[in-house]
Every structure is written in C-alpha cells, then in structure tokens.
Chains A and B, each alone.
Chain A
Amino acid sequence: MSNQQGASLVEKLKGLTGNPIDIAVRTIKTNSGASIQLAFLRSLADPAPVTNFLTKVDQLNLSETSFAQAGEVFIADNDQAQDSFIVTNLLKGAIIVYLASRKPFAVMTDSLTKRPPTQPETERSVRGPRDGFIENIFDNLSLLRRRLPDPSLRADEIVIGRRTKTKIAVVYLADVADPDLIMEVKSRLGKIDVDGVWEPGILEEYIKDNKLTAFPLSLITERPDKVIGAVLEGRAAILVDYCPQVIIVPNSLNDLYRAPDDYYFDFWSGSLVRLVRLIGNILAIGLPGLYVALIGSSPQLLPISLGLSVAGFRMGIPLPLYLEVLLAEIMIELFREAGLRLPYGTNQTLGTTIGIIVGFALIQTGYISTPTLIIVGISAIASFTAPNFSVGLTWRITKYLLLFTSAILGFYGFILGAVFIMVHVASLTSFGAVYTIPWGPVQPSGLLDSIVRAPHWLSLNRPQVAKPTQTTRGKKYPKE
C-alpha cells in the first residue's frame, strides 16, 4: 500500500467514524518493501503488541492467522459489509490491519486500562476475600469461574442499548436455578430497548417487579463471594460490561441485612454481628420517628422520669420537636453528601471539624437540644450498619416517612406509618419471589438463616427465595 493509498485510507476512516480526534493510521514498512497499515483509535487501542510482533516475525509470509500471536483476530464474514466491520471493531478497541491483497481484518489486543480487583469501598469486610469486581465483564466472570469451576455455571450473553451495545451476562447454575426465573430474567432484559445502558442501576429500574417502590427488589454488589453465594442458592447474577457492580435477583427483605462476613465467622459471632446489624437497621428507620411520636405528642406513654428529663433539655427550644429533628437530620444529610463530594484527604478533617463546630453552635444557640442530637446521631450512624449502600438509602427514605407520620399523628401515626410500610413490603415480589420470605409465609429452612445465622453444617437446605430446583446443598456431616 503506497503513501497515497495510506492518506486515502485515513480520509476514508475519518469519513466512516466522523473524523474523531483519536483516529490514527500507522504504516509499517516490511523488509520486502511492502507496507502494512494499522488503523486504530488512540483512546481505545494500543498498537504496541502488533508492532512488536511485526518486528519479530518473518514478514514475507504474513497472513491473518500470523497475527494471533499479537491478539485475538477477527475476520469479516462474507455477508458482512466491510465498512460496518471496520467501524464496529474500531469502536471496540481493535486494530484494523491492512495487508496487501487481503481484506482488512481486526486484531484485538488486551490493551485497555484496567484496575486491579481491589476491595470494594462500600462493602468492606473484616473477614473473607479482599477482591472486588472491576470494569471488565470477562475479568469479572473469571473471578466467578475461579471460585466456581462448575460446568453448570452458565453465562448467557445479552446485548442491550441501541448505541452503547453493552454486553450483559446472566450468570446462574443451570441445574440449581429455576428455569422459569432465568427465562423471566432474560425476557425482562430483552424487552429493554433504549439507546444506552451503562450501569446496573439503569437496568434495575427497568426490570424490577414494582417500578415505584423505594425498596431494593434486587441486590447490587461488588463482591464476587456474595455473587457466588447467591448463585449457589439458585439465584441469577447480572453482570454489566464496564461496571464493577453486579445485580443479584431475586432477593427478599431478609437479604437486606445479611453480609458475607456473617458466614465467615463462627455462627455465634456471625449471629451476634447480624443481630447488631438488624438492630442498627431498625434504629436507623424508626428511632427519630419514635422520638418525635413519644416526646412530641404522646409523652404520657413515657416513663415520667424520662419524659421530664427530655423536657428539661428542651426548655427554651424555639422550634417544635419535629422541626428540630428535621433540622438535625438535614444537617446530617448535608454532611453526608458533602463528605462524599469533598476532595479525598480533606473530607474527613473538614467533615469532622465542621460537624463539631456546627453541632456545638446549634446546641449553644438553643436551636437543637442535646437529646435530639443524640437521637439523630445514633440514627445516622445506625444507617451505615446496612451491608449495602443502596439499602442504607432505602432506610433513610422510610425514616423520613415515619418522621412525617409521627409529626402529624404522634405514636398513632408512627404505628400507622410502620404498618403502611409493612403492608407495602408484604405486597412486593422480586421476580415472582415473595419479598417477606421467610417470615411471611413462614419458611423453616429460611428462618434458620434470618435473624441469626445457622451453622453451616445445619443449613443443608437452600433458601426457597429463588425456588431452586435442587433444594439440598449436600449431605449431613457425619458425627464423630
């Protein structure tokens, strides 16, 4: 290919791809005097593996198969338009190779920037593996396959997004997962027809049973061990390319306070940690509402000494109790949101300092009483006991609902609000699975792994949330 031809190739590619800033065509002269053109997008591909290869091999007998040493080779089908083949592969990050007297073909080099599978920031654990998913779907699959080298492990591909053409993998155990569940998952995913999907949160909104609920009807995780646990229970995992989060379906209310750590400690410690987390979640949801209900409008239900003590602290506070709590809650929300956005390094220092100064000033000026600050503080810290960040957000929403009903109708409103939330929860399903399992309807095998964590040797049956086709995990451990 001459220089003139090379220039025309650049023009052609610019025309095909819309003249992007990162299009590049590199010409490599061979020993025989012929030239090979390499076309690629600088932002996506690194030509080094191909050029290195070309310097090492005998360039007289080059063919498509020779380039397999530099990367994965793709050749256009006979019926595929050549321009379409070139553009598609360029955008995937391949290098298009123009060999004399041959059709152009693509070489995919493993050159995209990757980060190592580090521990997820939002799902830290004391025990257990430290790796987390990264952005590449195949690397994520490898994290799963290495843990579960079972021939039944399936990873079915679905492409979603007219423009993004995002790879989605539905991962499950073929002989454990309910076929109807897998069919339903694929069917719901297949119905999504939008121009772009690039994050599981977007998928999640489309595929959940109840589109308006604030409760998570699927679990999002960055931990491979959590996905393995779920797959072994007959659930399906949905992996999205270029995203480290994985969706697990179906799930139940019971899953919202279970964390992988629970299963790595012995069952006494695991149960204690889980119980603490459950109490934390209840406090996060109900404490501010209950405080407003009992102190604000139904103090007759409090022990006299406690009621008088709180009333003493609230002497001279100009705001009604619900506004006082709301003000404190808004302050906490602002700190929380600002803490996430502040530059790393300054966020902790600044957050703590301002928190102390503002908190102290609010008490000194008499806008917020000390008991209110204690209650709001406990509730805020308790919301972080949720094993998952998105679950913590749900608890915050329900907390405000209870705060609102308590402000209007006191303790009566608190109960009505709590029952309303529970009715809503009881009406939910996740991919057909009842959300209140294992308590409603009562399911003995699930109860073993609910408020407390049963010993592994006793948990012989899989939970029925996903209706697995194989109900038992294994055989009873023999007594010595």
Chain B
Amino acid sequence: MKNHLTNKLFIPVLLISFLGFGISFNPFALESGIGPNAYLTLIIGLLITIIGLVGLQRLALKYPNQSLVHVAVNLLGPIGKIGNIIFWSIIFWFIAILTRRITDIISAMVLFQTPAWIIHCFYLLLIMYMAMKGTETIGRLSAVFIILVPILVTLLCMGLKNVNYLNIHPVYIIRDLDSLGKWRVWLVAFAPVWIVAFLKGNNNLRSGLKPILGTVAIGTFILGAFALVVPGVFGPNGVKRYEWPLLELMGTTGFASNYFFHSIATSIYIFIDLLFTLITTAVFLTLLLSDLRDLFSLKEKRSKWVLLIITSGIFSVITFPNVIAFKTGVNPLLETGSIYIPLYIMILWLVSLFRKKREI
C-alpha cells in the first residue's frame, strides 16, 4: 500500500472527490432544501472552507506527520477519542450514502432487473481493491481521469440552452434570501475538501494553500453551475419531480435535435458520475482504513481484514433500505456530517492556538 501524495496527485484527488460528492448531492440537495437560488450558498460555503483550510494548514504545520486521530487525542484527550469515533462514523455513513446513491442510479438507468445487492457487492469490491492499493494509486488514477472534468463541464454547458432564465432571475434573489437561513446545507458540497485534507501521506497543506484553494474554487464554480442549470431547466422546486439527477440531466443534453448524440452524452455522464463516485468513496475508505490502522497499530496484512469488515458493514447498511432513508433530497446524516467535520476541525484549531506543541 503506497500512501505518498505529491501535489500533482493530491490536486486531482481533491477535485474529483469534490465533484464526485458534490454532483451526487449538492445541486439537488441544495435546490430542494433552499430553492432556485441555492447556488448562492456555495459562495458562503467556499468562504467557510477557505477559513477552515487555513486552520487545517496551521494544524498540519504545528503537528507535522500526524493524522487527525493523533492531533485530536493530543489536543482534546478523551474527548478527542470520542470526536474521532464520530468523525469515522460520519465517513462511514458518507461512503454508504454515496454508494447507495450511485447504485440506485445504476439500478434505475442501467440494470433494471439485477438485484440491488449484486450491484452493491461489485461496487464495494472495487472500492475495496482501490483502497488496498493506497492513496498514491488513487492519486494517479485521479490524475489520469482529470481529463473527464472538461467533458463534464461540456455536458453541463450543453444543458444551458434549455435553461429558462426566468427560473433563476435575479428578482428572486431577494425573495429567496430568507431561505439562505437554512445553513444546514451550506457545507454539504464541501465535506470532501475537509476529509481529503487529512489523507495519509498528504503533506501538501504545509507546502502551500494556493493550489488547493484554486482547486476548491474551480470545483465550487462547476458545482455552482450545476446548481444553476438544474433549477434553470426545471423551475423552482422542479427537481423534486424527478427522482434521479441523471434523468434531470438527460433533459438538458439535447444537441442539434440529435438523439444519437443524446444517448452518447447520457452514457458518458453515467461513466463520469460512476467513476468520480468510485474515486470519492475509495478515498474516504482509504482514510478510514489508515486512521484505524494508526489507532490499532495494525500491520498491512491485518488491515486487509479491517477493510473487509468496514466494507461488509457498508454492504449491510446499504442493502437493507430501512437502515437509512436514502431517497430524501437532503439526507439528515449528510447535513449533520457536513457540519460536524468543519466544526470539529475548527475546535481543534482553536484549542491548538492555546496549547504548546506536544509530541505524542
């Protein structure tokens, strides 16, 4: 398992995780939770994340070569241990929700008659394999597939021609400013940024924030465009009429009235969405695994068993639909998690300001 992430590998991981998570949840969660001007909240989310990244950098500089697990225990003692357990639980649920989200799309769009557990099983086997290979391999994979980001943006741009600008007319901004008070969904899209920053082997936070901030800004711009196009096409709360984001996008990919191209665009979208989600879940799983390895000081062979246990847990959770209500637009677990992680990191940062550096 190789876990050395250079800047050239970390940036693609960050962008793809950000987009993979964001495309799956953000425009739709925001739109159904806030309204057609939800894209405006991304600016607030971006600002909070930038401040958070500065805090993360300070923590990384103060406690070099230490994972979040160690930093938290070092700073908060037993409370840090509890904080870590909650942090890992959130990552676990994020993997589960994300997996369920994409496999539901596959069930709806690609494999109507295949039992869901088979779709889950193969998906989890693949992310398990990716996690076993380590963050460096995932980084290289992300760097290779970064080429798909412009293709995704092109697909998005093709949807612009179907946008009814009256649906997102500035006149609604003032009316919808009240809905900006729904702060719980501000940070949904940015959760991966906070999580990926703590990947094992990532020393890029120390070397400089500029490329990271640039990447986050590009990601925010793309997600903002998504959050603009979807309500622009379907109208205020129109997204609720459609169960799957993919179906919504299908309506936006007509090109020169050519159905042939439309099918290709849909297939490409499925490919990109699935690939980005695979990478995102694999990154989360790798982080969870490396933290648990550090905690229990496990050797590589034994950590494979831990990986198997985590993956089996995710499989159980997503295969029995009553465990989590996956189909809600704004999943409560998603909201809670996306607020908890920044809050936890901010607390750690603040506490670190009052504490002298102490080695564990």
Contacts and interface: CB of A to CB of B under 8 A. Distances in A.
Given A306-B260, A409-B111, A441-B8, A423 B129 contact: yes
Interface stretch (B79-87, B149-157, B269-277): B269-277
B122 A440 contact: no
B106 interface: yes
A301 interface: yes
Contact of A413 (B122, B133, B137, B143): B122
A389 interface: no
Contact of A442 (B138, B143, B263, B267): B143
A426 B275 contact: no
Interface in B226-269: 259-260, 262-263, 266-267
B159 interface: no
A415 B274 contact: yes
Nearest to A437: B140
Contacts of A427: 2, 133-134, 137, 140
Interface string B95-133: 000000000001001110010001100110010011001
Interface string A410-428: 1111011001101100110
B8 to A, nearest CB: 4
Interface residues of A, number: 29
A296 to B, nearest CB: 12
B111 A426 contact: no
A478 interface: no
Contact of B110 (A412, A436, A440): A412
A298 B274 CA distance: 16
A415 B129 contact: no
Contact of B129 (A300, A304, A409, A420): A420
Contact of B267 (A301, A305, A426): A301
A419 B126 contact: yes
A149 interface: no
A34 interface: no
B141 interface: yes
B137 A409 contact: no
The CB with the most chain A CB atoms within 10 A, among B130, B137, B142, is that of: B137
A410 B110 contact: yes
A170 interface: no
Interface in A157-184: none
B283 to A, nearest CB: 13
Interface in A399-450: 409-413, 415-416, 419-420, 422-423, 426-427, 434, 436, 439-442
Interface of B is mostly: helix
A151 interface: no
A436 B144 CA distance: 8
B139 interface: yes
B187 interface: no
Interface in A305-363: 305-306
B277 to A, nearest CB: 11
A305 B260 CA distance: 9
B259 A303 contact: yes
The CB with the most chain B CB atoms within 10 A, among A298, A415, A420, is that of: A415
A373 to B, nearest CB: 23
The CB with the most chain A CB atoms within 10 A, among B12, B111, B119, B134, is that of: B111
Contact of A298 (B110, B123, B138, B140): B110
B164 to A, nearest CB: 27
B259 A304 contact: yes
B143 A441 contact: yes
Given A301-B263, A415-B271, A423 B114 contact: no
Contacts of A413: 122
A297 B267 contact: no
Given A301-B266, A301-B267, A415-B270, A440 B142 contact: yes
A302 interface: yes
A294 B118 CA distance: 19
B285 interface: no
Contacts of B111: 297-298, 409-410, 412
Contacts of A303: 259-260, 262-263
B140 A436 contact: yes
B270 A436 contact: no
B9 interface: yes
B110 A301 contact: yes
Contacts of A423: 126, 129-130, 133, 137-138, 141
B289 to A, nearest CB: 16
Contacts of A409: 111, 114, 118-119, 122
B275 A415 contact: yes
Given A419-B126, A423-B129, A423-B141, A441 B259 contact: no
Contacts of A301: 109-110, 263, 266-267, 270
A300 B137 CA distance: 34
Interface in B156-211: none
Contacts of A439: 143-144, 147
Contacts of A422: 141, 144-145
Nearest to B266: A301
A133 B172 CA distance: 75
A420 B137 CA distance: 12
Nearest to B113: A297
B278 interface: yes
Contacts of B267: 294, 301, 411
Nearest to A441: B8
B6 interface: yes
A416 B122 contact: yes
B268 to A, nearest CB: 10
Nearest to A297: B111
Nearest to B262: A303
B116 to A, nearest CB: 12
A306 B6 CA distance: 45
B149 to A, nearest CB: 13
Contacts of A436: 140-141, 143-144
Contacts of B130: 423
A406 B150 CA distance: 27
Nearest to B273: A415
A20 B192 CA distance: 74
Contacts of B12: 440
A411 B110 contact: yes
Contact of B143 (A294, A298, A412, A440): A440
A427 B260 CA distance: 36
A441 B141 CA distance: 9
Contacts of B263: 301-303
A126 B274 CA distance: 42
B142 A412 contact: no
A303 B255 CA distance: 13
Nearest to A436: B140
Given A301-B270, A423-B129, A436-B143, 8 more contacts: A301-B266, A301-B267, A422-B144, A423-B133, A426-B133, A426-B140, A440-B141, A442-B143
Interface of B: 2, 6, 8-9, 12, 106, 109-111, 114, 118-119, 122-123, 126, 129-130, 133-134, 137-147, 259-260, 262-263, 266-267, 270-271, 274-275, 278
8 contacts: A298-B110, A410-B114, A412-B274, A422-B141, A423-B141, A427-B134, A436-B141, A439-B147
Q: Which 8 A-B pairs have the closest CB atoms?
A: A440-B143, A441-B8, A440-B140, A426-B140, A440-B144, A427-B137, A303-B260, A426-B141
Interface of A: 294, 297-298, 300-306, 409-413, 415-416, 419-420, 422-423, 426-427, 434, 436, 439-442
